[in-house]
Amino acid sequence: MCGIAGIVSIDGTPVRGLKRKLELMLKMIRHRGPDGEGIWTDQDDRVGLAHARLAIIDLSETGAQPMVGPDQTVLVHNGEIYNYLELREELESDWRFSGTSDTETIIAAHARFGDDAVKKFRGMWAYAHWNARTNRLVANRDPYGIKPFYYAVIDGAFYFASEMKAILPFLDDIETDADAFADYVHFQFPLSDQTMFRNVKQLLPGHSICIENGRIEISQFWLPTYGNAALGRPDEFEAQLRGLVQDSLRLHLRADVPVGAYVSGGVDSSLIAILSAGSSHHNRDFFHGKFTEFSGYDESSFAQIAANEACGTLHQIDITSQDFLDNISKVIYHLDQPIAGPGSFPQYMVSGLCAKHVKVVLGGQGGDEIFAGYTRYLIGYLEQALKSEIMGTADARFAPVGLAALTNNLGMLREYVPLMRTFFAEGLFGPPAERYFRLISRANDLAGEVDLGELPMAGTETRFKQSFDAAGITDNEALNKMTRFDFQWLLPALLQVEDRMGMAHGLESRVPFLDQPIVDFAARLPMEMKIGEGQTKRILRSSFADILPQQLVERRDKMGFPVPIKEWFSGSLSGYLYDVFSSQRAGSRPYLKQKAILAGLDDVGSFSRKLWGLLSVELWYQNFHDQGHLMRKEARNC
C-alpha cells in the first residue's frame, strides 16, 4: 500500500521541471507512504516516476520503489499482489529475483507474459510499468477499484497519481465537471471515467492504459460474467464458497507486519475477523466505532459478540459531534471529491484508531454487492416477483423470481414502507432499468437545493441505462442486473472511501471478499442462493452458520455505519452548518441554491441526509477550488 505518481511526455519532448514536479506530487500524497520515498527520471526528462512507500511485504531496501528491473523497465506500484509467492515459483526459471517483494514479481511477470501479466494477479493494485526499450508506459488498475489511479493530459504530457490532489496544481484552472456533478446529485458517485474535477479522469476498474508512439489507448482486461452456474445442491455451493473464502484469506493474511480487522457487527466483517483470528493468534486485534451520544447508533454489542467468538480484543472509539467538527474537513480533503454517504467520517475515525495498533486491517467490503446484501434488492426483487406471479413469466431455467423466496421474512421491509409507498406509486412493473433507477436516484430530493436545470441530468440516466442493460443478463435476472450495476459503480466509490480513509493514517486496508475466484463464483450463482427464504446474502449466512454467532446471522436491523447526523445537525452542529452555508463564497457556488439550503436548516429532521451531501460539496469547494491559486503557485515554481 503506497502512493504513486508520474509524468510521461506523450510526444517525446522533455518535460520542463520534471523532477521538481514529481517532488511536488509526492508532497501531496506523502501520507500514503510514510516509510520511504523515491523518484526516478530518464536522462532526457521525458518520463519520471515517483513513489511513497508503506512497507508491508519485504521491509528491506530491496522492496523500495521506483523499482528498476534488469530489462530496462521501471515500476511504481500501489497495492499488494497476494499470490506473488506462487508466481515467483512459476517465473524463477527465467528470472533471477534480487529480493522478496511482490513488486519485483510484477516486473518479472511482464517480462514473461507482456500485457497479459495483469491476468495472472490476485490482489489489489494500481501500477505503472515503463519500458525504456520500447518507450512505452502501461498502467493497470485492479478489477474492483480497490486501488485508485487518476490521470490528466496537460501541455502534451500524461500526469498520473494515486490521488487527484497531486495533479490539481498543474491544471490551468480547477473547475467542476458538470456530468460528474449530475451523477453525484443522482447517486453520490460517478458513472464514467470522469471525476468531479474537469479534465481529471479515473482509470476504471479492470482497465489498462497505454502511452506509446504519441497515442493513449485504454482497454478492459476483466469484467465478471453473470449467469447461472451448473445445477447443484445448496450444500455443494456452500462447500465451494467455504473453500474459496478460506483460500482468499490465506492470501490476504500475507504480510510482514501484524494484521487486524474492522468489526461493524454485521455478517461480512464479523466473518472475516473470526476466520482471520482462527489462522493465527497474531490476528486478533479488532476495531469498531460507535456513537453512544444517542440511542440507536451503537452497534458495539454485536461487534463484541464477534470479537468474543474470535477470542480477540475489541478496540473501540466513541465518536462525538466534536470529532465531527475537528475532522470533517480533513475527511473531504482526503477523499478528493464528495462521494458515497456519511460513513466516510466514522471510517476516518476508526482508521485512526487502527493505525495506532496495526499497519494492515481486513474488512468485509464487497460482500453486499456480490452476494446481494442490500435491503433495496429485496424491494426490487419483490416487485419482480409480483410481476412474474401475475404475468406467469417465471422461468425455472433462470432461478425463478417467485414470492416464495421472500415470504418468510417480509418483515425486514417494515422500516422501508415509506420508501416503498413512494416507489410503487408510479411506474409499477415497468422495465427493470427504469425501476432500479427510480429506486436509487436521489435527484428529486435535491430539486429545491440544486439547480437541476443547469446540469446535464439526462446524461446520467442514459449512462445508467446503458450500464444496467449491458449485454450478458436477461430482464428475467433483474437481481443480477442490480448487483452488477452496484458492483461496477457503487462498489468502487465505497472502496475509494476505504482506501482514502485508511491511507490518511498510513494504514493498509484489505478486502478478502474481492478475490477473483469468489467474485466469479458469486456472479454465476443461482439467484435463490443470494436471496432466498426472505434473506439477503443467503449463501453467506448458510455456508458459515457453524462459525458465525447466531445473533449475527439472524440480525434484521443492521444499519451499515449509522451516523447521528439528524440529531447533530438539528442540535450541537446547527450553528456550524449555518456558518458554512451562509458565507459569501457559499453563495457563489455553481449549481447550488444558497437560500434554499439555508431555509432547510429550519427543519433539519427531514433534511439531514440531503445536508450531508450538500455539506460535502461545500467543503470540497473550500478545500480545493478556494485553494486552487495556492496549488498553482507551487506548481509555477517547478
Q: What is the pLDDT of residue 229?
A: 61
Q: How confident is the model at residue 314 (pLDDT cuts 50, 70, 90)?
A: very high
pLDDT at 277 over 60: yes
Span 25-72, pLDDT tens digits = 999 999 998 888 999 999 999 999 999 987 676 665 657 899 999 989
Task: Point out the least confidently predicted range of 8-17, 216-225, 355-364, 420-429.
Answer: 420-429
pTM as predicted: 0.95
pLDDT at 270 over 80: yes
pLDDT at 230 over 70: no
Beta strands in 175-262 (DSSP E): 201-202, 207-212, 215-220, 259-262
**Coil, strand, or helix at residue 153?**
strand
Span 396-450, pLDDT tens digits = 444 445 677 677 767 777 878 888 898 999 999 999 999 999 999 999 989 999 9
DSSP 548: S
Q: What is the pLDDT of residue 638?
A: 77
DSSP 134: T
Which residue's entry shows cell 466516510? 344
> How does the average pLDDT of the chain come out, rounded?
91
Q: What is the pLDDT of residue 202?
A: 98
DSSP 505: T
Q: What is the pLDDT of residue 411?
A: 76
199 burial class (0-12, 13-18, 19+ CB within 10 angstroms)? Answer: middle
Q: Which residues pair with 285 in a beta bridge?
A: 313
C-alpha 445/C-alpha 449 separation (Å) is 9
- The sign of the CA dihedral 590, 595, 596, 597 is positive
